[in-house]
Structure 1
Amino acid sequence: MNKSKELINKLGLDATIHAEEIPDIDLYMDQVIQLFDSKFGPTLRNTDEKVLTKTMINNYAKGKLFIPIKNKKYSKQHIMLINLIYQLKGALSINDIKTTMDPINEKIDNEDFNLEDFYTHSVALQQANAKSFFTEMQAHEQEIAEMEMEDDLKHLLLITSLANMSNAYRKAAELLVDELISNKKEPKK
């Protein structure tokens, strides 16, 4: 079987946009899309997929998933926020993403909030998660390899195992989003 290394390479789990890679100058939408394509394009499943489109960015802006843009240009903060949204969109609904992003956007608007520090921690966690995934993937693969059955059935078991783990992580994230909603409704003491 030994698909772990092959899958990890194709997944590009270490692909990200580090804070220091984001220009300090504001970018036009096409430049933002180009930046995301250069970082995440190789991780796409096929050539028909898009990392980010003008429509996606416009929908994020209309849905108030990030702070308002100025003069049709996107700041370093916008790019960090769009990347956070990009990381969330594979697992959460747009409403859940908005709920998740609201506290960050409020902090940017109302407080002296260092988004770059938060973003850097997020990227560090993403990279730690990639290492954990590789270890977990190898353990699943090893356990399945020891089972006595045909290789195609082992392959199917690996698929179902990964799908099951994916569902567990997504459901856990959704429960945490629900907790955000619940905490917002409760009066602060």
Structure 2
Amino acid sequence: MVKNTLEELIEELENFTQLKFESIPDIDLYMDQVTTFIEDKLGYLKRNKKDRTITKTMINNYTKAGILMPPKKKKYSKQHMILIILIYYLKQILSISDIQSLFSPIVNSIMSGKSSGENLNDIYKTFLKIEDGEVKAFADSFKNNIEKKGILNENCDKSPEENLNDLIMIVIMLVVKANIEKRMAEKIIDNFFKE
């Protein structure tokens, strides 16, 4: 039972759908269209169905924080959409303050007219490649770690208590790795993006 469920979870993780660059609208959208689009395309990433992927308040707060450019005539461009998508991903791990430090140079450059946003397009395309590669690498690493623990071993008869202990250790392993990676991301932001 545990083996089958873990295999299904790994498969679900590997079969995620990326929001390709070409799928982001090239036309400017009103706020309601932005929230509907993001909810439709990224809603599958929510942990609970009741959660909201993005709200009007969030978008307004990102704009006030300088993480997002103000809309032009109440419309949001493809660059706005890219930033909103990246913010959604990053805020799962980083604080809004860290995201602001990370993106404010890009936002300021776009707002001042020094940049057309092409570098943001490149960042998003690279993000997609990184995400795809990291998901595959994670799935392989996860399977290897689980096999070492004997959970996916079909010939192993474990008690429910032993399975529970193994699952606790797997969660701890994942959290420790995520915490180490989060701390490294914060150190890079602190050393290169904060004054």
State the TM-score, normalizing by the size of structure 1.
Answer: 0.86
Say whether residues 1:72 and 2:84 are aligned partners: no
Q: What is the count of residue pairs matched by the alignment? A: 183
Where does residue 106 of structure 2 map in the other structure?
A: 104
Tell me, which stretches of 5 or more residues in structure 2 are unaligned? Answer: none
Where does residue 148 of structure 2 map in the other structure?
A: 143
Say whether residues 1:129 and 2:111 are aligned partners: no
Where does residue 37 of structure 2 map in the other structure?
A: 35
Distance in 2 (CA, whole Å) between partners of 1:52 and 1:11 is: 22
Distance in 1 (CA, whole Å) between partners of 2:15 and 2:191 is: 27
| 1:39 aligned counterpart, secondary structure | helix
Tell me, which stretches of 5 or more residues in structure 1 are unaligned? Answer: none
Where does residue 17 of structure 1 map in the other structure?
A: 19
1:72 deviation in Å? 1.1
Distance in 2 (CA, whole Å) between partners of 1:100 and 1:54 is: 22
Contact kept, 8 Å, 1:99 with 1:180, in 2: the verdict is no
Distance in 2 (CA, whole Å) between partners of 1:180 and 1:101 is: 12
Contact kept, 8 Å, 1:140 with 1:161, in 2: the verdict is no
Distance in 1 (CA, whole Å) between partners of 2:43 and 2:168 is: 27
Where does residue 177 of structure 1 map in the other structure?
A: 189
Instruction: Decide which moves more: 139-148 or 118-127.
Output: 139-148
Distance in 2 (CA, whole Å) between partners of 1:112 and 1:22 is: 17
CA 71–5 in structure 1, closer or farther in 2 if over 3 Å, else same: farther
Contact kept, 8 Å, 2:79 with 2:117, in 1: the verdict is no
Q: Percent identity?
A: 35
| 2:48 aligned counterpart, secondary structure | coil
For residues 120-170 of structure 1, the C-alpha deviation after alignment (integer angstroms, 9 at most, x for no partner) is: 111111111111111121122112227988111111111111111111111
CA 86–12 in structure 1, closer or farther in 2 if over 3 Å, else same: farther
Where does structure 1 differ by over 4 angstroms across 4 or more consecutive aligned residues? Answer: 9-13, 146-149
Distance in 1 (CA, whole Å) between partners of 2:7 and 2:105 is: 37
Where does residue 154 of structure 1 map in the other structure?
A: 166
| 2:193 aligned counterpart, secondary structure | helix
Code of the residue aligned with 2:129 in structure 1: it is A
Contact kept, 8 Å, 2:68 with 2:83, in 1: the verdict is yes
**Aligned-residue RMSD, C-alpha:** 2.2
